[in-house]
Structure 1
Amino acid sequence: MSEIGKTYRGEDGGRGAGAGTGEERTDVHALDGVDLVIRRGEYVAITGPSGSGKSTLMNLLGCLDVADTGTYRLAGTDVAGLTDDALAHIRNRFVGFIFQQWNLLARTSALGNVMLPLAYRGDPDRPARARAALQSVGLGNRMGHRPNQLSGGEQQRVAIARALVTEPALLLADEPTGNLDSTTGADILSLFDRLHEAGRTIVVVTHDASVAAHAGRRVRLRDGRIEHDDAWTLAGRAAGASPVANPPGGIDADR
């Protein structure tokens, strides 16, 4: 990502303060000049207070939304100007999503839920690939169970397997332990650690310092800008210079 900006425009009229009064609503600058490079195999935590731009950055990283200004390359692909269909293809091909809400189909087995992203591709090997993904997260004996037959931690593991099954360039997790008790949350974070050790590229968006502590690099947002990036400190130490103020941006899945 380079010089990324995202503004949500205020509108006159409608609902809320100033509705129908002719008063001009204030634009919200969710992101302002964000530069971010994430290398293949990195484990990065995006942190910051409420309203800092974390959710907007997550949506842009996952191609759920597009920036107003700047450039973003995901696995070598410039996503600016792509159609909605092209963005959907990029998401299915390159991004595995893990949300706080597991978003599992209630009447579908764990195996069926994990096969779903492959069904969109028409992948003929989806049963075998889904079984392998479930086995990789320790659910080899729970494949036929529906979500209501699984614990919260098991449901999150199904969601992680669903994210892994497409072999994405980027695993993007939004508060992945937010709905779990501390013990189950620790188990999920241990799984993330193992995925990172296996070479996965992981970005976790969180306000929880204990979750962020598992990442090898922390990026802190405030008021739509990067306030701190561990990479700046590391770069400064390596070069014997001050932290870089405006490093070039992107997500590199090829090196």
Structure 2
Amino acid sequence: KKFFENVAVQFNMAERLDKHLENLKEIPQHLKRVQINESNEYYLPQVINELKKQYNRDVMLEILKVFEKHWDNGNKWMLHILSKSHLILNHLDQLKNMKHMVQIEISISSIDEKLIRDLEFYTPTIKKRMETINKLATNDIFVRTMAMPFWGDYKEVEAIKKLSFNNGARGFKNKRLNYFDWQQLQALDYNDLINDKVSRVQGRPDNMFEDLNEKSGETLLFKGKPKIVNVSFPHVRKWSTPTILDEKLSLQDQKIIDCGYSQLNKVKWAYIK
């Protein structure tokens, strides 16, 4: 299959999700957090159009309604929906109904429009993404800008944050290009890239400029120091379903972090605010 040309769709996702959430309803509240579109993108125009045309289906809307149903029944899951696309506004009415349980994360990798066009094929412009942030925020939906992986320096990251907050964003997260040094990439031409003449950077943290992050899981300080609380976790963090269901939980020390949840609902999320 060719990248950008083929898409796999799981038509039974909503049904499977419904059963899965029911099985997980007894796990601790602070574990009930889900990121959607973490490594893919549902909001692709051709995919959406073909699903509607051939099957009269909107798979993402079906998924959102499953989460809404479980929340209303007391099985409360917090959703982080990551996207680069303005087409997330197709679900604006549904997201307005779920604004107490969703955070939209709009991804932006550069402030340079030409660079975006060269590196992120078929994605909306920065202007269009800012308009999307503004529309969501105007409807009181929590929006976080995810500048990750970001190509640029401090001033450019700061400029994206300012632009985002001017359009109503309430959270901001930035991470560097994990494996390569941006300054080195700028000095190379296309042939160097395809011939793998770029050295990888080892052992550095993901965060570029921590002082620019806001309500993105950042540690809350009390009298200058993080406050530690005991909460239940599986021993394996990157768990599979059997791990959550079958492995015994144990109390572990966690720093209190600010994700902006307290702005949205009154659910007790343990170490998450």
TM-score range, shorter chain: 0.3 to 0.5
State the TM-score, normalized to the length of structure 1.
Answer: 0.34
Bigger helix share: 2
